[in-house]
C-alpha cells in the first residue's frame, strides 16, 4: 500500500500552514473529501443539475443517477429493497427528521433508551421528544473496561413502555464497537424499535442490516 498515492487523492492534504503540512485530527467528526468525489459532484452540477420528476433530459438523467446510487447503497449495507433507502443532507438532519415523525407515534410516559457513548446527533433528537411529547429518555450503563453498551443494564431498563432503543454501532470518541445485533434482539423482545447510528462504523466494516435486525440504520458519507 502506497500511502503517498492515497494522500494525493485528497486535495486538502496538500494545504500548508506556516510553511508546514496541515494535519487534520477531526476525521472522526468530518472527513476530507477525495478528488474523485469532488469531480463527480462537479460533473453533476455541470451536466445533470435539475429538479426531480421532470420529463426533460437532465431531470431524467438526474433521477436515474439517484436510483443508481440508491441501489448501490442498498447493496453496500445489505438492504433487500432499495426503496427502503432514503437520502438526506447528513446523519444529524436525517435523525431529526426521523425523530419528528416517530414522535407522532409516542405518548407521555413512553420511553426511549440510549447511551452516553452516543454522538450528540443521537441524543438531542430524543431529548427534544421528551420536551415535546412527554416521553422519558433513559441512559443505560456502559462497560468501562471496553467502553461498550452494558447489555445487562439495557435489559433491566427495557419495559413495555420502551418504544425505541437508539445506539451507535461504533463510538467516534473511543473507536469501540457495540454488539448491535444483540441490542436489536433485546429491543424487539419488548416490542421496541432499534435505531442504529452507523456513521462511524460504515467506513471500517461490512454491514448487513438484515443480519443486524435493526429497524432504522442511519449513515453518512
Does the pLDDT of residue 28 top 80, yes or no? no
The answer to whether residues 214 and 185 touch, using CB atoms and an 8 Å cutoff, is no
Residue spans of the domains in the chain: they are 3-83, 88-218
pLDDT in tens, 65-115: 999 999 999 999 999 999 999 999 889 999 999 999 999 999 999 999 999
Please state, in angstroms and rounded to a whole number, the distance separating the CA atoms of residues 199 and 63: 25
**What's the confidence (pLDDT) of residue 27?**
67
pLDDT in tens, 134-181: 999 999 999 999 999 999 999 999 999 999 999 999 998 888 999 999
Does the pLDDT of residue 31 top 90, yes or no? no
Q: Where are the alpha helices (DSSP H) in 78-218?
A: 91-103, 124-133, 151-157, 180-189, 209-212
Does the pLDDT of residue 212 top 90, yes or no? yes
Torsion of CA 56, 57, 61, 64, to 10 degrees: 50
Please state, in angstroms and rounded to a whole number, the distance separating the CA atoms of residues 163 and 106: 8
The model's confidence at residue 29, banded by pLDDT at 50, 70 and 90, is low
Cα–Cα nearest to 214, from 82, 77, 118: 77
Entry pTM: 0.86
Taking CA atoms, 102 is separated from 31, 42, 116, 118, 208, in Å, by: 30, 36, 21, 19, 24
CATH class name, domain 88-218: alpha beta
Amino acid at each position: 500500500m502506497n500511502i503517498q498515492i492515497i494522500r494525493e487523492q485528497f486535495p486538502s492534504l496538500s494545504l500548508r500552514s506556516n510553511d508546514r503540512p496541515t494535519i487534520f485530527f477531526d476525521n472522526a467528526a468530518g472527513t476530507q473529501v477525495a478528488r474523485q468525489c469532488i469531480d463527480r459532484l462537479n460533473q453533476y452540477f455541470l451536466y445533470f443539475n435539475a429538479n426531480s420528476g421532470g420529463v426533460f433530459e437532465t431531470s431524467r438523467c438526474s433521477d436515474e443517477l439517484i436510483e443508481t446510487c440508491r441501489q448501490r447503497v442498498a447493496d453496500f449495507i445489505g438492504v433487500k429493497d432499495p426503496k427502503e433507502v432514503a437520502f438526506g443532507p447528513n446523519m444529524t438532519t436525517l435523525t431529526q427528521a426521523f425523530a419528528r415523525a416517530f414522535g407522532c407515534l409516542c405518548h407521555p410516559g413512553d420511553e426511549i433508551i440510549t447511551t452516553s457513548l452516543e454522538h450528540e446527533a443521537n441524543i438531542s433528537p430524543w431529548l427534544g421528544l421528551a420536551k415535546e411529547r412527554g416521553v422519558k429518555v433513559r441512559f443505560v450503563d456502559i462497560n468501562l473496561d471496553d467502553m461498550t453498551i452494558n447489555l445487562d443494564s439495557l435489559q433491566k431498563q427495557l419495559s413495555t413502555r420502551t418504544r425505541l432503543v437508539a445506539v451507535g454501532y461504533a463510538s467516534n470518541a473511543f473507536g469501540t464497537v457495540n454488539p448491535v445485533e444483540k441490542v436489536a434482539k433485546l429491543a424487539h423482545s419488548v416490542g421496541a424499535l432499534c435505531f442504529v447510528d452507523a456513521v462511524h462504523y460504515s467506513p471500517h466494516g461490512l454491514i448487513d442490516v438484515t443480519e443486524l435486525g435493526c429497524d432504522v440504520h442511519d449513515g453518512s458519507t
